[in-house]
A and B are shown apart, each in its own frame.
Chain A
């Protein structure tokens, strides 16, 4: 089955620790995205990548870092510099090509800072 997987489903972090959230897709999509969702708020874009070895900051990139070494993988690191990291994190991907604009989402990772 083609799709997007995120792991872990739940993640607990102590203050001062860096943690890495995994996102893998086997849809052969070129573009991948990371969003953050807080209760009662819309999704906010953290980082995105359109091709391997290239990525751009979104609206709320401070305190986060990413890498895109493989087409299938786009891990997100939440660093200790992120002041309020407790949130639901969603990864999405999109196929390349004219007129193909829909993003498809993974199941999400809920991060809680203890």
Chain B
């Protein structure tokens, strides 16, 4: 069974204080790993897809990295508007004709000015 665990569950940062969010996964052959941002009461917003170990993607203050067992979302010099819940999801290669995703529980990030 595919599993995704995100840590920490919640993270409080001061504005400008860089940090990383972790996504550990077990999957029967990784097709892709996805990061989403979700604001309260809204649908998730797609951020990145990573396909293979060693891959990195960047967008503004966010950088996502991938190893064979986990992914990190690095946030450099965060601003209050980066406050949100960040979701990680994996897509298995095996028996997944529907391209289904398995989600982690999310990390709630709060950035104080």
Contact = CB atoms under 8 A, between A and B. Distances in A.
B36 to A, nearest CB: 8
B44 A42 contact: no
B105 A50 contact: no
Interface of A is mostly: strand
A30 B3 CA distance: 27
B46 A102 contact: yes
Interface residues of B, number: 26
Interface string A71-114: 00000000000000000001010100000011111111010000
Contacts of A101: 31-32, 34, 49, 91, 99
25 contacts: A31-B99, A33-B100, A42-B105, A43-B87, A43-B89, A43-B101, A43-B103, A44-B103, A48-B98, A48-B100, A50-B98, A58-B100, A92-B43, A101-B91, A102-B34, A102-B49, A103-B99, A105-B43, A105-B44, A105-B46, A107-B42, A107-B43, A108-B41, A108-B42, A108-B43
